[in-house]
Amino acid sequence: MRLVTYTSNSGGARLGVLVSGLVVDVERLGASRGLAWPGDMLSFIDNSVTLLPVLKECLDRTNGRLPVGSAVPVEDIKLQAPIPRPRKNIFGIGLNYRAHVAESAKSLDTDRDLPKQPVVFSKPPTSVIGPGAAIQHNAKMTQQLDWEVELAVIVGKTATRIPVETAMDHVFGYSVMIDISARDNRRAGQWIFSKGMDTYAPFGPCIVTADEIPNPHDLRLWLTKNGVMKQDSNTKYMIFDIPALIADISSGMTLEPGDIIATGTPEGVGAGMNPQEWLWPGDVVEAGVDGVGVIRHPVVAI
């Protein structure tokens, strides 16, 4: 199932599910069956253990004959970030692909040895933007704006000190994130300012539920700048896979429904190129993860 947050001419942000070129409004579909279903993504994820199978069964029973007023063509809506305002900071994972470790050691003065534990940083909720929204380039703040395509994991159940063996039971679904980074704003080894400025977490276009992706560790992920391929790799090259990340983070910090883990980026970032490349106003970045989706964003001056 592909869940989205969308807006239309009829009002504010709402929860929908993509079905054959339509966006089916979850709350309105439930109401047509006499059921009080939530109208936003976080509330749905909070109750997904019971709601998700019921929603699937309801959609299966419609046989394409949806109740009047419960669906709208995709071209008539605007997609927002699937979780427009996360409750907590996004958990970012640095240096989680072998080739990216090597290129970072050459260009960003990071350790050339593979990390022995996940490198965890964070991006605040205010950094999130939805599909098509502009990435801000503030020349007063940065002259080294960079890109990183990542598979985002959305937590579905509370996880505290979870072992690797059961970690995947806590995954609700997957999305695409671009970890925008101002490389010249790293401060004494701290990354949050470099990676957490406004618009630095493009996110979307949907959340694909975990049952739709049986193996998230064999997905192509890629990124282009102005139509030119810059990153092209596969999630199988992660150093720490998703169960390891969930186990590590939850060993000391409780993961809650709706939390987001951006699982790291492969090689091909601008800082690793010779000569180095950066994002500038007028550029367009497009990124995708096979089986999940594609997001596209212009870079604008502010």
Burial of 116 (0-12, 13-18, 19+ CB in 10 A): exposed
Residues 263/93, Cβ–Cβ less than 8 Å: yes
- Is residue 5 predicted with pLDDT exceeding 80? yes
pLDDT at 125: 98
Mean of per-residue pLDDT scores for the chain: 95
pLDDT digits (tens, 9 = 90+) for 188-243: 878 999 999 999 999 999 999 999 999 999 999 999 999 999 999 999 999 999 99
For the chain, the structural domain boundaries read: 2-79, 90-301
Helix (H, G, I), strand (E, B) or coil at 180: coil
pLDDT digits (tens, 9 = 90+) for 101-150: 988 877 777 777 888 999 999 999 999 999 999 999 999 999 999 999 99
Fold of 90-301: Fumarylacetoacetate hydrolase; domain 2 (3.90.850)
pLDDT digits (tens, 9 = 90+) for 46-77: 999 999 999 999 999 887 788 888 999 999 99
pLDDT at 106: 74
Interatomic CA distance for residues 5 and 82, integer angstroms? 5
The whole-angstrom distance between residue 234's C-alpha and the CA centroid of its chain comes to: 16
What phi-psi label fits residue 296: left (phi over 0), alpha (psi between -120 and 50 degrees) or beta?
beta
Interatomic CA distance for residues 296 and 57, integer angstroms? 33
Q: Which two tokens stand for residue 139?
A: 């020349």
